[in-house]
Every structure is written in structure tokens, then in C-alpha cells.
Amino acid sequence: MPEYSGSLQRVAVAEGLWLIPLLPLLAALLLGWPRARDDSAKNGRERWLAAVAPAAALALLGYFTWVLSARPDAERILVDHVWTFVRIGSLDAALSFSLDSLSAFAACGAAFVGAVVAVFAVTSNVSRFALAAMNLCVSAFLVVVLAQNAVILTLGSGLGGVSVWLLLRGERDAKRGDVVVQSFLGDAVIVVATLLTFWVLGGTWTEAGEYVPEFRPRVAGVEIVTPEGHEPPKLDREAGHVTMISPQAATAYIGGAAICEVDAAGRPGGLGPEANPCKKVARSPFVRIPIGPSRHDLRVVTSRGNDATVAERTPVVAGQETEMAPVASTFGFREVHNQLLIRDVSGARVLRVALLNKTLWGINVVALICGLLVVAGLVKSSLVPFSGWLGRLKDTPSYAVALVVTLGSAVGAFITVRWGFLFDLAPTASGALALVGAMACLLTAAAGVFRADYRTALACFGASQLGVVLVGAGVGAFAGAAYQLVAQAVGVAAILLSIDAVGRASSREGADLDELAGSGAEHPSLAKLVFVVAAGVTAAPIPGLLGLWARDGVTATAFAIDRIGFVPGWMVWGFLGLGGFLGSFLVWRVYYVIFASAPAAKKPTKKKKRKARPLDQRLLWVLRVLAVVLVVGGIVGVQGRYWGSSHPALIDTWLASAFAGAGAPPSLLSSGVMLGQLFGQFSLSLAGWAAARSRYGRERSKSWRSDEERYGQVQRYSLELGVYGAPAGLASGVGTLAQVVARIDRSLLGRRFDDSRIEPPGQASIGSDEPAHEDSAESSSGKEESD
């Protein structure tokens, strides 16, 4: 019987994963550097880099996903170690990427959306700098989803924040600074959550408040058990097999001999100098190196030769795989997840128990970490109350809004899914996440309902769909959450780009719904395409497309669970339903105003007469591709339970390996009840469509325009007072405090107070206004006098 065992995921090493985020990053760097001369011909060629890079990343992803899919379910994870990032004692992080079923799915979705949006943007002749920002955004999101550990995920999250700011043309509008500051807030929360997770795994805060640091990482030999129902890998029955993934770039020894990756004779495995000289010494990550079955003293050397980590008398069993797994502080997602699965000889999951018993300031640390992740999810996903800046997207180009909402804001939601297995340990935090996600879905959708421009409205819709992802992570429907993440990316990008194409074809570049009203009559084929896209996104009035099944993965689980921590499942389901109703109403409102209403009656201006022009066929093809994905993408989410089949949805099967041992238990409700809840959700979406159709369709009331303005004002005031008031008040308080501090600062060492060097209180808020240029002449003269 092994001392430690567990159904850990078996890993393969795949070099080249790092190229996937690097390609768009390089394109961003090449396109972003300011040019002294404008060479239009060369610019035209180089601009296609913006589309080629994400497409190439998608192709690479396709290859690696194919490699991944060829492996058995329980072995679907590829790891690529690039270099060590930080290493001292047990604080060990590497620049490493991994591709499991979750990251493959999310990365493919992101690269696809990035490439499609880039093609759209290139054909629309946007600036090089904007193309660079787009590629940076794609690269950042790919780093986030491919990150092997939490440190690299933070790196991607930070880059994502900057790319969002650049996409919003932050360099032109000083008011967009709140996006940057909000991004820093999100990153700070992620950093704290990550570090708490790291230290709580290995370090100990004693009751006296003292911590005993560890000078080296800890590892233990864990025999990998093949889960029931899975076929074990074909291993040499005569030999034991040693695997080490983390700590990375470490060397393993048995006694005094290094483990060989390739021995002197060119054969794989074996031991070092005495028995079998190494041609190539194994440095982690390495997998399944055959050694003699016995009890071995395995020594792992990371930094200093005299700081070896030793796992004494580790049993290496013939025909089995033993992984040298970290059993203490680690940043790796897989490694943390594995620690929760490791069992001792009695069958107890000892590390999981130990983790659950840790407290900080009397609070369960896992609950604290999950609470922080909830906040990070809200902040980075721009959900209420952190969605204030979405209201200023009117002047931002649609392609930029599409990327900001589908990739930039999706970072927060993805983080909650990635850490989903931790939420599994903290029911209270899970309940909070589900409730907060559902309410955020509802409120963020409500914030976009009566918006006067389609970009803000659809951005709010996109953000509200990320709330569904948060709910998925909270209720344990991780596969549904991941599905929803990709579905909303494709759907929101499709609808935003479609309407933008309508505007271009009608020579209406603005985002005002009023201005775009009636454009559909000029482009009937495009109107049909947008109808399909809207139906795909909202699941109404055509059921069975991507939108319905993506949401169903989450809503069905919420419905089937009695309680999620302290939150009743039906409550979450209800909020999601209302959110679905509002979301559907929002999207269809945009559709009907643009395609079914008459043009606004305005006096003709003296400006150039508007002239409808044929739609660029390349743009049309981009939109067709998105529409097709929205239609056929639903297939992978169709649940067999609705007609009594035991086969789960394709997406559930694919993503199951990423969440082994975590997630909600299978539903005990009958298929009839589940079908009822599905019908309920669909009915609510349908009701949203019906409401929008009756209000904005061909038979709308005559006073609808004035009603819109009135509702819009009520909505704006209620949001500013009720939702965004707290952050604004906080910012104002910080500004006043800063004034006080600056004055004390001046007087600390006896310096005469100089008012001209401190801003008056009204200007202390962040990014609030332009520089006070009016005073410049006066200030200059004042300076000259003082000099």
C-alpha cells in the first residue's frame, strides 16, 4: 500500500506552448512602436500582422488541442516550462504554461474571437496603435488562460488591464483613468488571494502569531491512481516510473545518483554515474522515467546544492507512476488541486483536511481566499458596482468594445472558474459567489436596458453574462461556466460587429440608437444575419442555439441544488431568469430600434449627404462565420438528460478532467422537472423578446422616443446614487485625505507651505479633468519671480 496516493492528472510535457501568447504580443510590439514616417503601403501590409498573429496562435492552439484530445480523459494536461521566474526557499514560481481541457477551450475561444475581431478591424482601416492594443489584449487573455500558476495568471491580468485602457483610447481621454485604477484594484485583490493561498498551503501561523518559514519546497512521492472507469496507461510492468512537474527546473537524485532522462546508451531513464551514466540528466518537468521498483530516498535539488528536499524511503512500485508532488506552498493550479486529492494510507485526504483547518484572524482562510476571489471576479469583470466605466463606451469603436467585454473583462470570470476547486471547499463563499454573480447579472443588465447607444447597452449585456459565469463557479457548474464564458465572447462580439457593420454600410459611424434607427430597411440581408445572432445570444425566440445551452449549464445546476452555502438554489435560479429576461429585452431592443423603427425625423444638416454604400464582403464573411458558430456552437452543450439519456453534453465530457474531484454532484431531479426549468428560463428570455418586440417593433406606441428619454434618466440617476455612489464617495474622501497629508508633509521639515505646488481639492480626484491650462501663464510668472 503506498503511503500517499491520489488520482492526480497525468501530465505530458509539450514544448512550444509559450509561442501561443507570444505571437500576438510580438505583433503588438511591432505595431505599437511610434513611427517617424508614415509609409502607407508598408503600413497596409504590416497591419495584417494584427490578424495573422491571433490566427497563427489559434492554429497552434488547434494543434496542441488535437494533441490533448488524443490523450485519455484523465491525462489531458500539457505543461511547458519556459524559465524560472522567482525561486528562493519555498517561494518558487516559474514562467510556465499549461494546457488542460479548460484552458484549451477558453484559449481557442479567445484566439478565435481575437482573430475575427482583428480581421474586422484591419478591413475597417483602424490605426496601427489600436491594432497593437487588440493584440496585446488577446495575448494577455491567452496568458491568463494558459498560465500554469497564479503568478503568471497575475501577469496576464495586469497586461489585460493595460490593454483594456489602450483599447478604450485611454491615451486620448484622460477620464478613462478609472479603468486603470480599477484594474489595479482587481490585480491587488488577486495578488492577496494568491499569496494567501500560497502561504496557507505550507506555512503555519501559530496561535502566537508567529510563522515558521520554510527554507525549501517540500515534496512527497505520491502514487498516481487511475480513476475508476478510466483505462490505466500502458507502463513497463517491470519498472517503477517517476514523474516530477514542480518545482520546475529541479534535479532529482536517488541516493547520490541523478535520474537520467537519457542514459549513456541513449535509452530513456535509469540512474546516474555509478549504475548507468547519464547522457542527459532529468530536470523537471519530466514524466515517467523508469527506475527500479523499491523504496528510494528521493532527493530534489532546486537552488543550492546543500538545500536538498528529501522524501525518504518513497515506495516506487513496479508498473505504477509515482509523482514527486509538492505537498506545501505552491502557486501551480494543478499542484494545489492535486494536494486536495492526495490520500494517506488510511484513505483520508490529509492535506485537504489540514487546509480546511487553517484560520487567519479567526476566519477560515479558504473562505477568506474565496471571498477575495469573489471581489476580484466582480472588479475584473466590470460587474455592478464596478461597471461605471461601461457607461462611457459610446465613443469607443465597436471592435474595441467587443474585445474589452469578451476578453478584457472575462479575466475576472475566468479566475473564479480556474480557482473553482477552492470554492468547492468553502460553501459559504460559494453561496456568496453565486448570489453576487446572479445579482450582478441582473443589475448589470438593468444598467444597460435604456441606454441611448448600442455599444454601452451591449457592453452591459456582455458583462451581465459574465455574472452567469460567476454563478457557474459558485454552484459548481464549472463546465457550464466555461461554456458560458466562450459563448458570451462569441455572441457579444458577433452582435457588436454586426451592428457596427450596419452603421458603416449606412454611413452612420455613431453609436446612437436614434441615429441608427431604420438602418435595417437598407440592408435586409444584414438584418437577417443580426436576427440570427441576437437569437443565438439570447436564446429567444429560437431555442437551441448557443445562448440557451450555455446558460443552461449553469441555471440547471443552480436549480437542482437545494442550497449553495447559505443561499437557496431557487433564488439564484430566479435572479438568473430575471437577468435573462432583461438581457433578452436589452438585445432585442437594440435590434428592433435599428431594424424595425423608422429613421429619426431630424432636419437635414448642411453636412455631406449621407449615402448608403454596399457592405464590405470581407466584413460580411466575418459576421457569417460568427453567426454559424453561434448556431452550431449550441450542439456541444445539448444535455442528454432532457430526453432521459445518460450521456452528458460534449462540453461536460471535454471539461470534466479539468475539475476532477470538484463540482456539483449530479442532479437527482427527474428529467421532466429539469425540462421544466429549462422551459422556464427559455420562457423568460422569450418574454424579454416579446416585450421588446411589442415596444420597439413595427406596432410600437407613438410616444416611445420620449418614454425612452424619461426611463433613461431615471435609470441613470438611480445607478449613480444607488450603485456607483459608493466608489465615487470613496474617491472623493481619498482626495480630501490626500490634501491633508500633503499639507502635513510640507510642514514636517519646516518648509514654508507653498500652495501653488498642491492642487485645490476640486481637482484632486483621479483623472477628473484636463490640466488647468488657464493658470499656466500666471504660474510661470510666479515661478520666475520666485527664482
Residue type, 600: A
DSSP per-residue string spanning 121-184? HHHTT--HHHHHHHHHHHHHHHHHHHBSBHHHHHHHHHHHHHHHHHHTTTTT-GGGHHHHHHHH
259-263 contacts at long range (C-beta below 8 A, 24 or more positions apart) = 259/286, 259/289, 259/291, 260/289, 261/286, 261/289
Give the residue with the Cβ less far from other proteins, 210 or 274: 210
Give the residue with the Cβ less far from other proteins, 699 or 754: 754
Q: How far is the CB of 637 from other proteins (least distance, A)?
A: 33
Burial pattern 67-77, b for ≥16 Cβ within 10 A else e, equals: ebeebebbbbb
DSSP-derived 3-state class of residue 729: helix
Give the residue with the Cβ less far from other proteins, 231 or 755: 755
Rounded-to-integer distance, Cα 637 and Cα 640, Å: 9
Give the residue with the Cβ less far from other proteins, 350 or 660: 350
Cell of 663: 463540482
> What 8-state DSSP symbol labels residue 312?
E
| Count of Cβ atoms closer than 10 Å to residue 303 Cβ | 17
Q: How far is the CB of 274 from other proteins (least distance, A)?
A: 17
DSSP-derived 3-state class of residue 280: strand
Dmax (CA) for the chain in angstroms is 93
Give the residue with the Cβ less far from other proteins, 70 or 748: 748
The residue behind cell 431568469 is 577
Q: How far is the CB of 107 from other proteins (least distance, A)?
A: 19
DSSP per-residue string spanning 229-271? TSPPP---TTSEEEEE-SSTT-EEEETTEEPEEEETTS-B---
Give the residue with the Cβ less far from other proteins, 363 or 714: 363
194 within 8 A of 154, measured Cβ to Cβ: yes
Q: How far is the CB of 280 from other proteins (least distance, A)?
A: 19
Cell of 343: 490520500
Give the residue with the Cβ less far from other proteins, 90 or 657: 90
Distances (CA, A) of 415 to 74, 233, 696: 22, 31, 38
Rg (CA), the chain: 28
> What 8-state DSSP symbol labels residue 277?
-
Give the residue with the Cβ less far from other proteins, 323 or 453: 323
Cell of 376: 476580484
Give the residue with the Cβ less far from other proteins, 655 or 764: 764
Give the residue with the Cβ less far from other proteins, 154 or 464: 154
Give the residue with the Cβ less far from other proteins, 716 or 746: 746
**Residue length of the chain:** 787
Q: How far is the CB of 630 from other proteins (least distance, A)?
A: 33
Give the residue with the Cβ less far from other proteins, 653 or 739: 739
Q: How far is the CB of 410 from other proteins (least distance, A)?
A: 17
Q: How far is the CB of 638 from other proteins (least distance, A)?
A: 39
> What 8-state DSSP symbol labels residue 772?
-
DSSP-derived 3-state class of residue 532: helix
Residue closest to 61 by CA, chosen among 126, 15, 17, 124: 17
Rounded-to-integer distance, Cα 266 and Cα 702, Å: 84
